[in-house]
Amino acid sequence: MLKILKYSFFDLMRSRWSYVYFAFYLLLGIILLFLNNDLSKAVITLMNVIIVLVPLIGTIFGVMYYYNSKEFTELLLAQPLKRSSIFLGQYLGVALSLSMSLILGLGIPFVLYGLFKSDAIWDFSLLLITGTFLTLIFTALAFNIALSNENKIKGFGYAILLWLFLAIIYDGIFLMTLIMFDDYPLDKLSLVGTMLNPIDLSRTLILLKLDISALLGYTGAVFKQFFGTSFGLIVSFIMLTVWVILPVLRIVFKSKKKDF
């Protein structure tokens, strides 16, 4: 598996897209810092960007890589190799190279700007951790979609749809549900609803940092326990890990059964 991981990773490192992605974040970081002159404000803006963009790029990149390297995969399958290690190796190669572009692209300008001397370092670390988790999750989801769809166009369509659903439509439905059932106690429902969507989950992590004063304005013991203590942070991270593990397990499972 490690060999395949290494191969995919270096293959991607040589590809143009990784550089574009890296350059994009580098530019974003520099411009934000240039415009804001304020490290913590730039972190806030970046957080908003990351929870939308990272999933999008993760999904598209994952699907694209799978379809592009399909012939190579089939070649590998002919060798005496475990299927799970082939697909996991490829998955990790993509996910890690994307995460690296993200971490380096954003890290370099912030470090140059004096991150280590600033108190925004925790917010920034949280941002990078959240970004990495989102990359891992959405690349895994993309591999799932690609494995289930032979048709490239369909696969891309589903991938975009997935992103659109989780980033926007889900929240719309969520909001409507909350408004419709507002005669009932909703605090548990709203927290569960958040757990079920990795983008919302990352957003919650960010809210915990930025908007804690507003969140504590809501009367509700469950909310208070969740947001007022480190409980919320821990649960969110556990859920994010679960969100990585489940799709990865499905990749393993699906790839074992699939006919090529």
Partner 1 sequence: MKNLIIFLSAILMANTTVSQTIEVCNSCPISTIKKAIIQAKDFDTIVIKKGTYKEHNILIDKPLVLIGDSYPVIDGELKGEVITITSDNVTVDGLFVINVGTSYTEDYAAIRVRKSKNFVIQNVVLEKLFFGIYIEKSSYGKVYHNKIIGDAVEEYNSGNGIQLWYSNHIEIEHNYVEHVRDGIYLEFSDDCIIKNNVSAENLRYGLHFMFSNNDLYQDNIFENNGAGVAVMFSKKIKMLNNTFRENWGTASYGMLLKEINDAEIIGNTFEENTIGINIEGSNRITYKHNNFKNNGWAIKVRGACYTNHFLENNFLYNSFDIAYNSKVNDNVFDRNYWSNYTGYDLDKNGIGDVPYRPVKLFSYIVNRTPETIILLRSMFIDIIDFSEKISPVFTPDNLLDNNPLIKKISW
Please give the residue ranges that form the binding site for partner 1 (CB under 8 A).
41, 44, 48, 52, 167-169, 171-172, 174-175, 178-179, 182, 186-187, 189-191, 193-194, 200, 203-204, 206-207, 210-220, 223-224
- CB of residue 122 vs partner 1: minimum separation in angstroms? 16
Structure tokens at 228: 């007022």
**Rounded distance, CA 30 to CA 259, Å?**
47
Which lies closer to partner 1 via its Cβ, residue 150 or residue 211? Answer: 211
Which lies closer to partner 1 via its Cβ, residue 1 or residue 215? Answer: 215
Which lies closer to partner 1 via its Cβ, residue 38 or residue 150? Answer: 38
- CB of residue 225 vs partner 1: minimum separation in angstroms? 13
**Rounded distance, CA 241 to CA 258, Å?**
26
**Rounded distance, CA 174 to CA 194, Å?**
9
- CB of residue 10 vs partner 1: minimum separation in angstroms? 35
- CB of residue 57 vs partner 1: minimum separation in angstroms? 15
Which lies closer to partner 1 via its Cβ, residue 34 or residue 218? Answer: 218
- CB of residue 54 vs partner 1: minimum separation in angstroms? 13
**Rounded distance, CA 247 to CA 138, Å?**
9
**Rounded distance, CA 90 to CA 106, Å?**
24
Which lies closer to partner 1 via its Cβ, residue 119 or residue 182? Answer: 182
**Rounded distance, CA 85 to CA 75, Å?**
14
Tell me which amino acid residue 63 is: V
Structure tokens at 141: 């989801």
Length of the chain: 260
**Rounded distance, CA 212 to CA 208, Å?**
5
- CB of residue 242 vs partner 1: minimum separation in angstroms? 19
Which lies closer to partner 1 via its Cβ, residue 116 or residue 184? Answer: 184
- DSSP assignment string, 154-168: HHHHHHHHHHHIIII
